[in-house]
Amino acid sequence: MNKAIRTKLSVMMFLEFFVWGAWYVTAPNYLTTIGFKAGDIANTYSAGPIAGMLTPFFIGMIADRFFPAQVVLGIMHLLGAGLMLGATTLMHASSPSANVINLTLFGYMLTYFPTLALTNTIAMRSMGNSEKEFPLIRVFGTIGWIVAGQALTRLHWDTSIAMFYMTAGAALLLGLLSFILPHTPPTQEGRVSVRQVLGLDALVLLKDRSYLIFLVSSILICIPLAFYYQITSRIVEMADLPIAGTMSYGQMSEIFFMVVMPLFFLRLGVKWMLAVGMLAWVTRYTLFAFGAPQQIAWMIIGGIVLHGICYDFFFVTGQIYTDQIAPKQIRAQAQGLLVLFTLGLGMCIGAQIAGKIEAQHTTQASRDFAAQVAAKGREITELSNKMTVAQGPERTALEDQIKTLTAERLTLRKSELQAIEWKPLWGKPAIFAGVILVLFVAFFRPPAKKPSAPVEREAVAA
């Protein structure tokens, strides 16, 4: 692979995950200020998993067979940019409808999720040795997510609608750049059945008792994972930490633990690698349960940094385990089935459960403060619109009013977050993850042969 192609693929992967990282973990910090409630946020975070369950149809039956991958990638991101801009228009409405905004975001995720597989395809088919070259390209995706988070914090956009504009702008840029990526024509090798697209041939793996236990555990562990993505950024905000920048520590730790994973593999093997990943989940939510109510920064940051172990030790190990036990002819289907059940079904169930538990522990006082925050936001918007045509003393007076309202809004926002019952909210996923860990250790039997150390990972969110 020459330098020009390597550069193009690195930029592609960087922007692919920059687009996602620009809004995914910080969206609630803005949406809850315009009237979104716990159930609405749950629906926001159900959009991605549902899209993830639907996209195999698109990838398997259309994109891989009829159009060059880079063209489909470009079209998807251009459509996504338009939908994200449409969502921002809806957010600016005097009385934003959470249902309509979520429907638009679902449309956006339908355009985004296929691109995760497309970028993989474009990168791997441009390489001579994917095992050696792909990780060096894929790491730019994680770097893109980190840079997006750091940019949001430095620009003070992690509680602002500007995060969605940044997402749309990056999607537009990647959409345009996609058309100059290496040509990746469709394979068109025979007919592909719906059974193959859905990965149903891989269901034979469920006859293996240990793999069935692993898959069920994977689905269940994704339920507490949903709490992390849709709720954590708000305890970071409450603790007065840089929101997006602090959340990006999780991706930084992910890079570190990917590097040291081979060393742990040699000592622990599959079963205990998976168990350590689950234990990290329990530890993380326990830290949040005790750290959030008192806004103890080191506990909150520690829980975020554990993301590297939570994700790499469980999900990446699971991908390797799946690849080891699956027959060669169905390995791709087996990996697709794993993603379908975990980041699709598991995360969708988790998003809804997290929303319900959040609603249970959102006190009436918190709801009252939230209503006041939304009202202040509307006042600020009205004054900002007036200021566009105001001049002289009138403009100065409007600026002073906006500053006063902004300060009042920040105070109310902090009171809203502090009124939530954080200890039981985080305690429940900690206990749930602990139960899954105990059952997994008790019933899972590792394969007779240890898998080799990881050489690459799926292009999925961290």
Could you report the per-residue pLDDT of 217-247, keeping only the tens digit for each?
Answer: 999 999 999 999 999 999 999 999 999 999 9
CATH ID of 198-362+420-462, from 2.40.10.480, 1.20.1250.20, 3.30.390.10, 3.40.50.720: 1.20.1250.20
Helix axes 209-238, 297-305, angle to 10 degrees: 150
Q: What count of other Cβ atoms lies within 10 Å of the Cβ of residue 295?
A: 18
DSSP letter assigned to residue 182: P
Predicted confidence pLDDT, tens digits, the chain (462 residues): 788 999 999 999 999 999 999 999 999 999 999 999 999 999 999 998 998 888 766 665 555 567 788 898 999 999 999 999 999 999 988 889 999 999 999 999 999 988 887 887 788 778 777 657 777 888 898 899 999 999 999 999 999 999 999 999 999 999 999 999 998 787 655 566 666 666 677 788 888 898 899 999 999 999 999 999 999 999 999 999 999 999 999 989 988 887 787 788 778 888 898 899 999 999 999 999 999 999 999 999 999 999 888 888 888 788 778 877 888 777 767 777 787 888 889 999 999 999 999 999 999 999 999 999 999 988 988 888 888 888 888 888 888 999 999 999 999 999 999 999 999 999 999 999 999 999 999 999 876 654 444 444 444 445
Mind giving me the DSSP string for 81-97?
HHHHHHHHHHHTSSS--
Superfamily of the domain at 1-181? MFS general substrate transporter like domains (1.20.1250.20)
Burial of 251 (0-12, 13-18, 19+ CB in 10 A): buried
SS3 211: helix
Check residue 128 and give its pLDDT. 73
CA distances in angstroms from 270 to 255, 374, 423, listed in the order given: 20, 48, 33
Q: What would the pLDDT profile of 60-118 be if each residue is shown by its tens digit?
A: 555 556 778 889 899 999 999 999 999 999 998 888 999 999 999 999 999 998 888 78
The C-alpha atoms of residue 130 and residue 292 are separated, in whole angstroms, by: 43
Check residue 454 and give its pLDDT. 46
- Looking at 239-388, list the stretches that DSSP marks H as alpha helix, in order from N- to C-terminal side: 243-247, 249-294, 297-305, 307-311, 317-325, 331-339, 347-360, 364-387
Check residue 58 and give its pLDDT. 63
Cα torsion for 438, 441, 442, 445, to the nearest 10°? Answer: 160
> To which H or E segment does residue 411 belong?
helix 392-418
Do domains 1-181 and 198-362+420-462 share one topology? The answer is: yes
Q: What count of other Cβ atoms lies within 10 Å of the Cβ of residue 418?
A: 15
The amino acid present at 297, given as its one-letter code, is A
Check residue 452 and give its pLDDT. 46
Check residue 95 and give its pLDDT. 86
Cβ distance 314 to 274 under 8 Å?
Answer: yes
Q: What would the pLDDT profile of 203-212 be if each residue is shown by its tens digit?
A: 888 888 988 9
Check residue 326 and give its pLDDT. 80
CA-derived radius of gyration, the chain: 22
Cβ distance 351 to 46 under 8 Å?
Answer: yes
Check residue 458 and give its pLDDT. 43
Distance, C-alpha 26 to centroid of its chain: 10
Q: What count of other Cβ atoms lies within 10 Å of the Cβ of residue 384?
A: 12
Q: What sign has the CA pseudo-torsion 204, 215, 50, 243?
A: negative
Check residue 195 and give its pLDDT. 67
Cβ distance 47 to 109 under 8 Å?
Answer: yes
DSSP letter assigned to residue 420: B
Q: What would the pLDDT profile of 150-163 be if each residue is shown by its tens digit?
A: 999 999 999 999 99
Domain extents in the chain = 1-181, 198-362+420-462, 364-418
Check residue 338 and give its pLDDT. 81
Cα torsion for 123, 125, 131, 135, to the nearest 10°? Answer: 0
